Chains A and B, each alone.
Chain A
Amino acid sequence: MGSKLTQSNRAGWAFALPGFGLIALFIIVPFFFAFALSLTDQRLISPNPTQYVGLENYRNLLGLAVVTLEPERDESGEIVRDEDGALQYPRVRSITRSDEYSQYAGMREWFRWQSGDNARVVVASDVIFMKALVNTLTFVIVVAPVQGGLALVLALLINQRLRGINVFRTVFFMPVVVSIVVVSLLWRFIYDGNDGLLNNLLSGLTFGLFEPVDWLGNTDTALGSIIAMSIWQAVGFHMVIWLAGLQTISPTLYEAAAIEGASKWQTFRYVTWPGLRNTAVLVLIVITMQSFALFAQIDVMTNGGPLDSTQTLVFQAVERGYGKQDISGGSTISVILFLLVLTISLIQRYLTRERT
């Protein structure tokens, strides 16, 4: 295999060269740049000389610790309670800013839980990055199966010989061709908390019982709203890939199944699904990678708000690298994201490998 590739295939290499060249220039080289920058304190523009800082950028992003807070006690050692009976704790900043606990310097509370009278506080060097990481993972975990599954259902629906089926194919595919920025702007109107389409629709369907929700302005609904809209937007693309997969399955297999008296479910389970194996792997990996790159919707619709409920890794990388001119911080996020996506893709490849 190796020898064949390198020796007797000059024309092949020549044909591949433009593609490889572009990929090297615009993907591989920038990645090594990003990795190099992430080890420095490089600013986008600055007269200060660039310095090598080792792994400091990574520590600044990934630092985590748990702090135990004891409730405030009065002089006699009794626990102080406020009017509602709630325990009083010292401010986390009194620890993260004090010289006694220099290991927590610069950290901030991410979340806390109660253990007995004490409060356990998870402090992070970069709370926004942590929230972005969690949001991005949530997004991927929801979008990958739901979008892939929905796309398969749509593909099965339109893989029939019906009059006017092309109309449906076009309609389902339409959102993919529209620019994501335009789609995001439109959905901003749909989600409008005042008199948006969605609120109007829901209140119409429930005869006015439905209380209008500020979909993008509420921390509980903002990420969900973006997930729903993103699934809708790209589902057509994956539907087409599934459709291509469906059409490679030989009709004779279906005929054989029909003769054997297989039910619809059995046909799907034992004929269609095994035939879609490679397509499924492709769709899953592509959706995962696309989901990790979530950016435009956030940039247009929420700017990461409200209260960081829609921060994502790519949005933060851009916000830091360009907005705050901290190109080394942005690069560090990109490198972490790359490693994350690489790891997950490899795991997916391993789990979906051909077993002999």
Chain B
Amino acid sequence: MRKTSLFAAALLASAVLPHTAHAQTELSMWYHGAGNEVESKLINKIVSDFNESQSDWKVVIESFPQSSYNDSVVAAALAGNLPDIIDVDGPVMPNWAWSGYMQPLPIEESVIENFLPGAIGRWDGKVYSVGLWDAAVALYARESTLEELGLRRPTLEEPWTGEEFMAALKAAKDSGNYKFALDLGMNDQGEWYPYAFAPFLWSHGGGIVDRDTYQTAEGVLNGEAAIEFGEWWQSLFEEGYAPGTSEAPADQERGFIEGDFAFQWNGNWRAVATLEEVDDVVFLPAPDFGEGNYIGGGSWQFGISASSDNPEGAAAFIEFALQDKYLAAFSDAIGLIPSTPGAAAMTKNYAEGGPLEAFFALSEQQARLRPVTPGYVVQSKVFTKALADIANGADVGDTLDAAVDEIDADIKRNQGYGHEG
């Protein structure tokens, strides 16, 4: 099936594209953006530019819908059918690298030296993947809300403290003007949870797993700091500040724009759409609960599959794609944060004085990668379930203990996931 569709794609491509040379070696590539027209257009443009720019390689792209992309890659890996170039979500990369489905990326460090930390995927000391963009999360608010509630405007240098943040929520709730003081996007129980909420845990001083050894979560995910985080997390829902896991997706998407929420914890990918409808929206940095303020880093990146016979060709394509003009083009079209300052200056949103400039600084200064370990794919699910359960009223200590037990048992079953220990 895949063979035939590849064949069909190749046929189509050979019919449409001019024959530059017959000596071109074909490189297959998979991408996660099927169904997104704008994104497809951009990536196809890079591919055709690359194919025309030289005569050794010809990249043939195949797109998948994002929701089934990871499953497709895993299935293809099991069947031994991986393409040369794969697109991989940052935190998942160590899992694929460890499993032997990716090989280190043979590109010069100098090419990526200016890149945002979240756009580079490293495992075992080697670069495996690089992204054209990163994403960032911020606290969406209206200028008018801040004024009306008499709140200080937090900055990167001086973010809100935990108390200030809770006082802001209380003020918003007491004003009676909003259905909810804060929206967290609790309906999306996927990678959003660890991506968006683990930073709150870090800021309390806890973590999903011990980052020195990656062998246990004991004391990190159920230590004092984590319990404190858990109680705070539960209070958000108990006291009615934020809608819980059963929130309807439509309410979540429109709520801030329609003024139902005073604040919203949301990603930069919604920023362009929000700007169009809310004139005085401001993007505030994460509050600091005592141990620094963080946001999650790491988005989709390009890497090379282990089974590729032509890693040089694949690397050549990836290096080609990492040009500032493409980074900027992606950013302008879908609002993502370009990976380099040079590209940021070329965009309309992230350039100096641009409406989303704040996000670039957020990503540069606050971004922290989620645990870099092959076990993350499991830890992400366990963490998500624990946070959903706590939000729904489960006992904080017991839930975090159970999560720790599950993570530790999984690490043990996988013989430590290949970390030197």
Contact = CB atoms under 8 A, between A and B. Distances in A.
A319 B246 contact: no
A324 B189 CA distance: 15
Interface stretch (B54-62, B107-115, B273-281, B410-418): B410-418
Interface residues on A, range: 35 or more
Contact of B405 (A43, A106, A216): A106
Interface string A172-196: 0000000000000000110011101
A216 B74 CA distance: 32
Nearest to A309: B392
Nearest to B222: A93
Given A47-B99, A217-B246, A324-B381, A307 B394 contact: yes
A76 interface: no
B246 A306 contact: yes
A193 B246 contact: yes
Contact of B245 (A46, A127, A189, A305): A305
Interface in A258-304: 302-303
B328 to A, nearest CB: 35
B378 A307 contact: no
Contact of A306 (B71, B95, B388): B388
A45 interface: yes
A193 B246 CA distance: 8
A93 B393 contact: no
A46 B414 contact: yes
Q: Is the interface of B mostly helix, strand, loop or mixed?
A: helix
A193 B243 CA distance: 10
Contacts of A127: 402
Contacts of A219: 392
B65 interface: no
B74 A45 contact: yes
Nearest to A327: B78
Contacts of B248: 188-189, 192, 194, 196
B209 to A, nearest CB: 15
B392 A306 contact: yes
A227 to B, nearest CB: 17
Contact of B101 (A45, A93, A106, A305): A45
Contacts of B414: 43, 46, 48
Q: Is the interface of A mostly helix, strand, loop or mixed?
A: loop
B401 interface: yes
B290 interface: no
A113 B25 CA distance: 70
A303 B392 CA distance: 13
Contacts of A214: 244, 246
B392 A44 contact: no
A319 B418 contact: no
A45 B244 contact: no
Interface string A38-56: 0001011111100000000
A93 B401 contact: yes
A324 B382 CA distance: 9
B401 A303 contact: no
Contact of B378 (A194, A302, A305, A324): A324
Interface in B131-187: 179
Contacts of B98: 46-47
Interface string A84-100: 00000001010000000
Contact of B381 (A109, A192, A319): A319
B409 A106 contact: yes
Contacts of B99: 45-47
Interface string B242-266: 0011101011000000000000000
A238 interface: no
Contacts of B101: 45
Contacts of A305: 189, 245, 388-389, 392
Interface string A296-326: 0000001101111000000000010011111
Contacts of B392: 217, 219, 305-307
B259 to A, nearest CB: 15
Interface in B375-421: 377-378, 381, 388-389, 392-394, 397-398, 401-402, 405, 409-410, 413-415, 418
- Among A109, A305, A319, find the residue whose CB has the most chain B CB atoms closer than 10 A: A305
Nearest to B391: A306
A324 B389 contact: no
Nearest to A191: B246
B413 A41 contact: yes
Contacts of A216: 246
B100 A47 contact: yes
Question: Which 7 residue pairs spanning A and B have beta carbons closest together?
Answer: A217-B246, A306-B392, A45-B99, A192-B248, A324-B378, A216-B246, A303-B189
Given A194-B179, A216-B246, 18 more contacts: A43-B414, A44-B78, A45-B74, A46-B98, A46-B414, A48-B414, A192-B251, A193-B246, A196-B248, A217-B392, A305-B388, A305-B392, A306-B388, A306-B392, A307-B394, A323-B381, A325-B74, A326-B378
17 contacts: A43-B414, A44-B78, A45-B78, A45-B101, A48-B414, A91-B397, A127-B402, A188-B248, A214-B244, A216-B246, A217-B246, A219-B392, A302-B246, A306-B246, A306-B389, A323-B381, A326-B378
Interface of A: 41, 43-48, 91, 93, 106, 108-109, 127, 188-189, 192-194, 196, 214, 216-217, 219, 302-303, 305-308, 319, 322-326
